[in-house]
Chains A and B, each alone.
Chain A
Amino acid sequence: MSPGAPSGASPSTAPKRDQYDVVVIGAGPAGLAAAATTAEAGLSTLLLDENAGPGGQVWRAIASTPVKARDTLGTDFWAGAALVEAVAASGAEVIQRATVWSLDKSLDVGLSVAGGSTFVKAGRVILATGALERPFPIPGWTLPGVMTAGAAQTMLKSSGLVPDGKTVIAGQGPLLWLLAAQVLRLGGRIDRILDTTERKNWLAALPHAFAFLTSPYFAKGLAMMREVRAKVPVVSGVTELAAEGDGRLARVVYTAGGKRETVAAELLLLHQGVVPNVNLAMAAGIEHRWDDVQLCWSPVIDPTGATSVAGIAIAGDGAGIGGAGAAVFRGRIAARAAIEALAPDAAAKIEPMSGLQAALARATRGRAFLDTLFRPAKQFRIPSGDTIVCRCEEVTAKDILDSVAIGATGPNQLKAYRRTGMGPCQGRLCGLTVTELMAEARGKSPEEIGYYRLRAPVKPISLGELAALPKTEDSVKAVVRG
């Protein structure tokens, strides 16, 4: 959209300029908030997003969903619309279906739109790449008929599709209950919910309970769980889980309270919470650390989202899971820091950093309770035996342990033995599992074991597209200078 163009103007297919003050990557809550803020302050802003429309995962298809009954998706979903309008009015240039496949320390952003690639130069980059669903490797999870809850929710929001065959949802976390509620409200079918929350987590979460009880999550969460429990049998304390079937899912076998049960199923939706999507940040060389509470890699950031790479900030769930409400404020905070650096005069006119930080603290209240309660159990993170870990190369847990036994010391060496993480998913579906599995096998911490060294292209690009990369003098210089 060109500056000042009304919402609904025809979408851009290529950046209008070679360089921008700020490039924001991801149009979820954090990215929309960041782009609106920097553009309103007069900074040339490019917002790049991979999806067909803005909204990210939480507000997916906010501008286009066929689900129009507002109660079905919940008020939190519709809160995104105002922010989408703010971006449209802000003068930010927005490109949808733009895949960012390269980012490096020189702040060159390689992006692909409509089958063509180009580079733009950024004064500042704000990464708002959000979260990924945590891998949930159980026996049989690669069978047709097994998918993640997030994938089911994507179909629900963008196409209004809901399950109509025998359906089981297994796992834990707020998103699992939200999905169940949304499916039921749309008339979809759920036969059973298998809750894998560990009983001991309730005790561990207790010290954080007060903050949670007074947080916005509590009332909404409780109401949603009541609504679901009224319509679907919920089995708590599930400690083992397997998908079975001959060529496709036929049943789910689980253990709860020491008792083994089998339930027939045509669709199994798995969910074990979400983790930061760190691929682009890692490929850009940003320092990360292992988060022992959320059990994932998180970028090392300061209170404004600034990273170890000068000029790149991270906002939203990509900086550590905080939810949509927190993401909006983290987006504004990162944007404000960019404005302070690039246009200090404009910063005086927007909300001060202290106010934004206070709002962020309110939005994250209760988070520690959720993180502790929904810390996934070891047996659902670290598989054994013939359970597939790397789906692209069909590598099992046993294969990995065998490689460790003959000398593979970390994920990068494992590649040489088993090609894990070298397939089209580039480690997204196996990375955390490989780190934790190798850490356990070698008696080391995940921090010591490390993660795959990630490199561009962060998303695959076609050879023809790379071959057609424009060869302008400016962009040649921009790359060589790095």
Chain B
Amino acid sequence: MTTRVDAIVVGGGIHGCSTALHLCLRGLKPVLIEKDYAGRHASGVNAGGVRQLARHVAEIPLSNRSMDIWERIADLVDDDCGFESHGQVLVAEDDGELAACRIRVDDLNARGFVHEELMDAAELRRLVPAVAETCPGGVVSRRDGAANPARTTTAFRRKAERLGALVREGEPARNVRKDAGLWRVDVGTETFEAPILVNAAGAWAGRIAAALGEPVPVETVAPMLMITSRVPHFIDPVVILRGRKLSFKQFANGTVLIGGGHLATPDQDRNETILDWRKLSESARTVFDLFPVMRGATIVRAWAGIEAKTRDDLPVFGPSARHDGLYHQFGFSLHGFQLGPGAGAVMAEIIVDGGTQTRVAELGIGRFQLP
């Protein structure tokens, strides 16, 4: 049975769900196809950081656009998504790192971006009293925070469905092809056809792009996270480091999430990851050094989500360079969660209006084409 829809969105992560929702808001009827369930992979199991801080300048416009949505997320998806805004803080561990922070903030200001502010030691200590006293300062982005990633992704999926999107979970998109001007995709015993195809399949998106003749230098990665048992409240903002790989957040219930991008070994075909405890041990050592208050905490669980990382650590976002009606939205390289709400809105503008006011040109797939 073939069902005609306005758009086919492949991938039920935060990006696919957000794009499906925004297409619905623009009056289109999309189908959202997810081989497992919405939020099963990176979108549901990441650290939940809602961060404008320390982004590559090419994706700051998309990040800022997204933050405007995050601040009224419940209006959009009828769920607060667990979003809390206590800021994110980047800690410099020595004067050299602080000097680099200063250069960064000056550069952003010169480009007209003002969300990152340089902090001295006193302001750092005020925001993060538990940090080691040797740290000379850092950068703060005050609107930042964190949300519950699985709840967020599910909220986008549910709202899209309520607004008329068809949702197919538990079956992969197969035989992606274009016939007579329409994209066709098989899902279980069904076939969908539409003039628009959005490739938002996360770690699996590179395969789709390659099969359609647009290979991208993308690898499958699985950043690891671990969480502690409850400890007394000691920190509000999310903390990241300038020099070492660490991100660090305490939830309202007292548990502390420790991440930072150390990688597990993914097995993409089996939806499995093998954790690398040597690298998790490095994270533990960093926390041990910087937050003496955490030394007695207990690690209760560690995990990793599978996603795609590009060669230049920037997403592939925008129209295909090869096919009409094909749009790419993947390769968010360990930092795509915060971008999801805005990216869906921008993608819907690109699809429906043929363009967007938000500057995303540097993220196009064309940058990987051979000269």
Contacts and interface: CB of A to CB of B under 8 A. Distances in A.
Given A422-B301, A426-B300, A479-B277, A409 B37 contact: yes
Contact of A407 (B148, B158, B275): B158
B69 to A, nearest CB: 20
Interface string A441-458: 000000000000101110
Given A104-B274, A416-B154, A460-B229, A467 B296 contact: no
Contacts of A407: 154, 158
Assign chain B's interface to a size class: 35 or more
A463 B278 contact: no
Interface string A376-416: 00000000000000000000000000000011010001011
Contacts of A463: 228, 284, 287-288, 294-299
Contact of B300 (A110, A416, A457, A464): A457
Contact of A467 (B37, B148, B288): B288
Interface string A138-160: 00000000000000000000000
Contacts of A469: 277-278, 281, 284
B26 interface: no
A424 B37 contact: no
B235 interface: no
Contacts of B276: 479-480, 482
Contacts of B303: 453, 455
Contacts of B229: 423-424, 460
Q: Which DSSP category, helix, strand, loop or mixed, fits chain A's interface?
A: loop
A460 B296 contact: no
Given A462-B299, A463-B288, A467-B284, A456 B275 contact: yes
Nearest to A416: B150
Given A416-B148, A424-B229, A482-B265, A457 B295 contact: no
A229 interface: no
Given A460-B229, A462-B297, A455 B278 contact: no
Given A462-B297, A475-B278, A416 B39 contact: yes
A151 B151 CA distance: 37
A415 B150 contact: yes
Contact of B302 (A285, A416, A456, A480): A456
A96 interface: no
Interface in B29-75: 37, 39, 44
A476 interface: yes
Contacts of A106: 274
Q: Which one of A102, A409, A479, A480 has the highest number of Cβ atoms from chain B below 10 Å of its Cβ?
A: A479
B362 interface: no
A422 B300 CA distance: 8
Contacts of A81: none
A285 B271 CA distance: 11
B357 to A, nearest CB: 34
A70 interface: no
Contact of B299 (A417, A457, A471, A475): A457
Given A471-B278, A479-B278, A460 B299 contact: yes
A424 B300 contact: yes
A466 interface: yes
Q: Which one of B148, B158, B287, B299 has the highest number of Cβ atoms from chain A below 10 Å of its Cβ?
A: B299
B158 A406 contact: yes
Nearest to A469: B281
A461 interface: yes
A413 B300 contact: no
Contact of A455 (B148, B284, B285, B302): B302
Contact of A457 (B151, B274, B302): B302
B186 interface: no
A369 B288 CA distance: 54
Given A464-B295, A464-B296, A466-B280, A455 B150 contact: no
Nearest to A477: B278
A248 interface: no
Contacts of B294: 463
Contacts of B301: 422, 426, 455, 457
Nearest to A422: B301
Interface in B294-339: 294-303
Given A119-B277, A424-B298, A467-B281, 17 more contacts: A102-B277, A409-B37, A416-B148, A422-B227, A426-B301, A453-B303, A457-B299, A457-B302, A464-B288, A466-B281, A467-B287, A479-B276, A479-B277, A480-B276, A482-B265, A482-B274, A482-B276
Interface of A: 102, 104-106, 110, 119, 285, 406-407, 409, 413, 415-417, 419, 422-424, 426, 453, 455-457, 460-464, 466-467, 469, 471, 475-476, 479-480, 482
Interface of B: 37, 39, 44, 148, 150-151, 154, 158, 227-229, 253, 265, 272, 274-278, 280-281, 284-285, 287-288, 294-303
